[in-house]
Amino acid sequence: MKEKGKYIGINQRVPFKLLNDGLTRLLDGKVLSMEEFKHNMFEYTKGENRATKGSKYAYQILSRPVIMKSIQDKFNAESFNFLSQSDKQALILCLVAITFPITYDLLISLGSAFKVQHQINRSLINSKLSAIYGSNRTLDIAIDSIIPMVIELETIKRTRISIYEIEENKTIKNPLISELFIYTDIKLSSSKTILVEDLQVRPWYMYYSPEINISKLTILKHSESRLGGGYLGLK
C-alpha cells in the first residue's frame, strides 16, 4: 500500500533464521522455493495466512537480482557459514531494507532520536513514521512486523513494553558486506554520493560500522574531494 507516495509493502514478520537458511540454500546452488519457505514459517506461526505472507516476503527479500549476483559471486554456502553472526545480520538487514525501505526509514528515525535520548517509546516511532507514511492501520501493522525483525538483527532491543534502546554498535568485517551496507544507505537516502567522513555520523551507521578499503571496491566507487576522505557512490 502507498501512503504519501511511500510504499510500505510488508505486514508480517520474517524471522532471521528463515532468511539466513534460505540464503544458505541459494548459495549452495538450490532454487528458492515458496513452498519450503511456507513450510518453515509454520515454526513461527500457526496461521495459514501469516505463513503464506511470510513466505512471500522471504522470497522477495532474497530475489534482488543485482545485489544477489554480487553476493553469489563472492560467497558459496560454506564461506557464508563462516561469516560472523553480526556480518550475516548486517547482510540480511540490507536485503530487508532494500526490499522494504520502511525498515530503513524506521532505523534512520530511531538513530536520529537516539542521538539525543537513551530510550525511545513506541509512540515516538509511530509519530516519526506517520510523518512519512501517514497515520493508518497499515502502518501500525507494518511497524508491528518490522520491530521484531530489527530486534532480531540486533539493531535495537526492547527493555520493557513499548520501550526500546539501541544495541551496541558492531563492526562489519567482510568487505563486500561493508560495501553493501553503505550501498543501502546511499540508495535509500536518494543520495548520489556520501562523504567517507560521514560514515561516522549518519544515523544508519549507529547500528553497524562498515570497514572498507577504498582501493578495493566492488559495488561502490570512490571519488576524490577537497575535504580529504573523498566521496563514495554507486557504480
Look at residue 2 in the predicted model and tell me its pLDDT: 40
Q: Tell me: do 174 and 161 sit in the same domain.
A: no
Asked if residue 162 is part of any domain, the answer here is yes
User: At 6, is the pLDDT very low, low, confident or very high (cuts 50, 70, 90)?
Assistant: confident
Q: To the nearest whole number, what is the mean pLDDT of the chain?
A: 94
Look at residue 226 in the predicted model and tell me its pLDDT: 74
Q: Are strands 156-160 and 163-166 parallel, antiparallel or unpaired?
A: antiparallel
Q: What is the pLDDT of residues 150-181, one digit of tens each?
A: 999 999 999 999 999 999 999 999 999 999 99
User: At 147, is the pLDDT very low, low, confident or very high (cuts 50, 70, 90)?
Assistant: very high
CB under 8 Å to 43, separation ≥6 — which residues? none
Q: Tell me: do 186 and 214 sit in the same domain.
A: yes
CB 94 within 8 A of CB 181: yes
Look at residue 26 in the predicted model and tell me its pLDDT: 96
CA dihedral 181, 185, 186, 190 (to 10 degrees): 150
**Is the model's pLDDT at 229 over the cut of 90?**
no
Q: What is the pTM of this model?
A: 0.95
Q: Give the mean pLDDT of 136-142.
A: 94
Q: Tell me: do 162 and 194 sit in the same domain.
A: no
Q: Tell me: do 160 and 183 sit in the same domain.
A: no
Q: Give the mean pLDDT of 43-52.
A: 93
Look at residue 135 in the predicted model and tell me its pLDDT: 87
Q: Tell me: do 117 and 151 sit in the same domain.
A: yes
How many distinct structural domains can be found in the chain? Answer: 3
Q: What is the pLDDT of residues 7-36, one digit of tens each?
A: 899 999 999 999 999 999 999 999 999 999
Q: Tell me: do 130 and 154 sit in the same domain.
A: yes
Of the residues 166, 189, 214, which one is the last residue of a structural domain? 166
Look at residue 133 in the predicted model and tell me its pLDDT: 94
Q: Are strands 120-121 and 6-7 parallel, antiparallel or unpaired?
A: unpaired
Q: Tell me: do 36 and 74 sit in the same domain.
A: yes
Q: Tell me: do 9 and 73 sit in the same domain.
A: yes
Of the residues 21, 47, 80, which one is the last residue of a structural domain? 80
CATH code for the domain in which residue 109 is found: 1.10.10
Look at residue 1 in the predicted model and tell me its pLDDT: 35
Q: What is the pLDDT of residues 194-209, one digit of tens each?
A: 999 999 899 999 999 9
Q: What is the pLDDT of residues 93-135, one digit of tens each?
A: 999 999 999 999 999 999 999 999 999 999 999 999 999 999 8
Q: Tell me: do 158 and 177 sit in the same domain.
A: no
Asked if residue 120 is part of any domain, the answer here is yes
Of the residues 133, 166, 199, which one is the last residue of a structural domain? 166
Q: Give the mean pLDDT of 64-79.
A: 94
Asked if residue 39 is part of any domain, the answer here is yes
User: What percentage of the chain carries pLDDT values higher than 90?
Assistant: 91
CB 61 within 8 A of CB 12: no
User: At 66, is the pLDDT very low, low, confident or very high (cuts 50, 70, 90)?
Assistant: confident
Cα distances (Å, whole numbers) of residue 79 to 2, 175, 211, 216, 225: 39, 13, 19, 20, 36
Full domain range(s) for residue 55? 2-80
Asked if residue 96 is part of any domain, the answer here is no
